[in-house]
Structure 1
Amino acid sequence: MNFDLTQEQQMVKKLMRDFSNEEVAPGAVDRDRSGKFPVEIFQKLSEMGMMGLPFPEKYGGGGADTISFAIVTEELSRACASTGITYSAHISLGGAPLNLFGTKEQKQKYLTPICTGESFGAFGLTEPNAGSDAGGTETSAVLSNGQYTINGSKVYITNASYAKHLALTAVTGREDGKKEISAIIVPTDLKGFKIIDNYEKMGLHASNTTELLLEDVVVPEENLLGESGKGLQQFLVTLDGGRIGIGAMAVGIAQAAYERALKYSKERKQFGKTLSSFQITQFKLADMAMKIELARTMVYKAAWLKDQGRMFTKEASMCKLYASEIAMEVADEAIQIHGGYGYMREYEVERYLRDAKLLEIGEGTSEVQRMVIARQLGC
């Protein structure tokens, strides 16, 4: 058992640590306040070859592994969680289903622009009445004369304003009273396709979160992704990979909160001593460091299993669940260590708490993760 990163993974980590410190972190506060999407950062990531990192080179990708993807996501999230979630969704939700289930022609046409950064990746699953219960999908796609006519809506969709196309789920038929849900690739510039970007969020202000409205949107039958009626299963597989990204995001946010708390505790004096010299602060910091390391190890294990072609559903849920919950804990403790200053935006730690909360909700709530884990245990 070897816990060392490979030489390539170490290079990715150093490259992204330097890039995040120099290019991403300096504007994080302004982006949080203005909500400005970090287009320039992603142009640079595209030039660095990071936008298609884990996908095949023949489609413009980098041919790297899932651990490298997790490293990039963690480092970006440590500097700016809005940038981290944009990248994670671009890869794990936008590109992954095309790579996993697309035909050669579909990959050439739709995955390549994602890998080269010409388009952002996005994923249309959640609906007003289909959140944790994805089977509650009501968006419909009626096949007639070789074309699907799609009607419905999607909510809380990341990156859609900057995506030239996305895969989404829709009901394509019914059998014995059960919905047949399929995945369909839909260009976002088609007539009847409307993207609304006006959510007011608790955190992750610089990420793009949208509502999709589809009214008689027509796409050819060849845009069916994978097998008809298998859309829900395909997207559940996609979510397994996405949960590794969320876990990595959580580790990045937690690491940032911990680093700020550690630095502040060494500078701030109370009762004639630095905070870091008090045992209660030392214990807080020790617990924070321990939980972050455990979460990172679990993220890497899930990523490693995926790279080995082995089952990783349970581990992906575990890493997402544990990492997201400790990110909230660590951010909360970082605020506590800062005291009154932690409650003020100037010291930034409150941003980590606001950003981390989404990670306990998106891509399957903590409650859903426990259901998945229990099911994998045979309960």
Structure 2
Amino acid sequence: MNEVCAEDREKRLPPGVLKSADRMLAGSVRDFVDREVIPVRRELDQEARSGDYSKFGALLARLGELGLPGAIIPEEHGGEGLASFLPWCLVMEELGRGDASLAVCTAATALALRPAVLAGNGEVLASLAPRFLEAERGYSACPAFFEAPALGDELNPDLRGHGWRTRVEERGDGLFLTGNKAWCVNAGRAGVYCVAAFSGEVGEGGEPVLVYCDSPADGLEVTKRETTGLLSVPFGDLLLNGVRVPLSRRAAGAGEDAVLLREGLAFQRLLTAAVAVGIAQGAFEEVLAFTSERIAAGKPIRQHTVCAVMLADMAVGIQSGRDVYANAALLLDSLEVLADRASDSSLSRASIARAHCCRAAVEVTNRAMELMGSYGYVTDYHLEKYWRDAKMLQLAEVPAELLRLDVVRGYYRFDSLHPNPLYEEMARRRDRERSGV
């Protein structure tokens, strides 16, 4: 890369922003990606298409040897206690540069563990920590947060439970889960699921609950989904038919789970932003090498003005995306109160980063396609993989329109539901019919 690009990686972020430990972690992951991921990333997609994930699983196991994703587990349980936003974003960018599927699966495991970590749930952590740190390298977790059809806005607290299909009831010494979750990362591969369900009546009396459920479990079924990008990511839907878990497997308690869920959404969106920048960086490096080797009029095509301007636009998108996610991560890391990191303002900043970085990744990979022409969409080069993964990442989790609604809620109150006397009268009639009045 040094022969092709003269960029100083150490100057991507301002001096003093990163701790020495953060730099070491990012450097270790960067070396891992260069040494072990990039040489086999074409094979990862080829194997995924045939249903073979052996190489991908081996890479997940190697990440476990580097301490990921178990680094989020507190030190008293054997982990590193790495819960800050910025270090995780740096890791995700480097993994995204190598293989976005590897980044997404690693991020999902950290996201699923995060509520128990932040809640200080010793019983859940004592049960899960050995699996991620000692027993099985490559062990994964699944954050099952979104409802079918996974439009995302059902997690808006202003809706007070409207749109939730997954319910949880307390019966005796257990919690019982029923319903469906959609587009869950690591579905079918995970050994534990962090399930978001709704407790109580829809409206003022109910609240979101986060529950840890081991797999396999009676009543838990997984339906796989096939995608055109992020091929090695096991996306799937969960069917929960009376799954029972002990009361102790609830992440926190009344009122607290809702805050943890909102904070987790901000964490997820910032990590997605960083993965998007990694994809764009990888595509940029690919096209820099290509344009340094292709000759036109006696010189490399990147020495021609038209090509140089296009490369400059790509560099602008990448660095501006990195600045946006790093700034948001630093802001959220500075907030000591969990509720502040779960606020509309914080989710807005994370959503801005996600929207900006995903759009930049799509634009960068499109520009790279234009520069490489027919070479861009053949599997001899890695660009077509970056191109597919960038678009898939942009569409995953939450539609662009709803993502932008979370952005504007950081600036003014935006109501998703509006009073409608007709709907209210229809609801009253249904209630009377059900009660036989």
TM-score under structure 2 normalisation? 0.80
For residues 219 and 308 of structure 2, the distance between their equivalents in structure 1, rounded to whole angstroms, comes to 58
Mapped to 2, the partners of 1:234 and 1:363 lie a distance apart of 17
Which residue in 1 is equivalent to 2:186?
159
Using the alignment, how far apart are the partners of 2:76 and 2:293 within structure 1? 51
Which amino acid counterpart does residue 72 of structure 1 have in structure 2? V
In structure 1, the residue matched to 2:333 is 307
1:128 CA displacement: 1.8
Q: Where do residues 3-22 of structure 1 align in structure 2 (5 Å cutoff)?
A: 4-22=17-35
Among 65, 71, 75, the alignment partner of 1:47 is 65
Paired letter, 2:324: M
- Counting only pairs closer than 5 Å after superposition, residues 128-147 of structure 1 correspond to structure 2 as 128-134=148-154, 135=161, 136-147=163-174
Structure 2 distance, partners of 1:74, 1:243, is 13
Aligned to 1:173: 200
**Cα distance between partner residues in 2 of 1:103 and 1:63:** 14
Alignment of 1:12-161 (within 5 A): 12-35=25-48, 36-37=52-53, 38-64=56-82, 65-91=84-110, 93-111=111-129, 113-114=131-132, 118=136, 119-134=139-154, 135=161, 136-161=163-188
CA distance in 1, matches of 2:284, 2:135: 32
Deviates more, 1:253-262 or 1:56-65: 56-65
Q: How far is the alpha carbon of 1:3 from its aligned partner?
A: 5.3
Which stretches in structure 2 are left out of the alignment for 5+ residues?
1-13, 155-160, 414-437
Contact 1:159 1:207 in 2 (8 A): yes
Contact preservation (8 Å) 1:33, 1:205? no
Moved more, 364-373 or 327-336: 364-373
Bigger radius of gyration, 1 or 2? 2
- Are the equivalent residues in 2 in contact too, given 1:153–1:213 (CA < 8 A)? yes
Aligned pairs for 1:261-300 (under 5 A) are 261-300=287-326
Residues 265 and 347 of structure 2 are in contact (CA less than 8 Å); yes or no, is this contact kept in structure 1? no
Percent of aligned positions that are identical: 28
Moved more, 340-349 or 78-87: 340-349
Distance apart, 1:56 and its partner CA: 1.9
Change (3 A) 1:220 1:9: closer
**Matched residues in 1 for 2:207 and 2:18: separation?**
43
Letter in 1 for 2:23: Q
Asked if 1:361 is matched to 2:410, the reply is no
Contact 2:183 2:236 in 1 (8 A): yes
Distance 2:17 2:178 in 1: 49
State the Cα distance separating 1:176 from its structure 2 match: 5.1
Superposed CA offset, 1:85-117 (max 9, x none): 1111111x2111221235222222235534557
2:275 to 240, 249, 272: 249
2:263 to 229, 237, 246: 237
Report how far residue 167 of structure 1 moved. Answer: 1.3
Distance 1:290 1:335 in 2: 17
Distance in 2 (CA, whole Å) between partners of 1:171 and 1:370 is 24
Q: Is the 8 A contact 2:68 2:106 kept in 1?
A: no
TM-score (norm 1): 0.92
Equivalent in the alignment of 2:431: none
SS of the equivalent of 1:378 reads coil
**Range with bigger deviation, 4-13 or 330-339:** 4-13
Describe the SS at the equivalent of 1:160.
coil
Query: Secondary structure of 2:70's partner?
Result: coil
**RMSD between superposed Cα atoms in Å:** 2.2
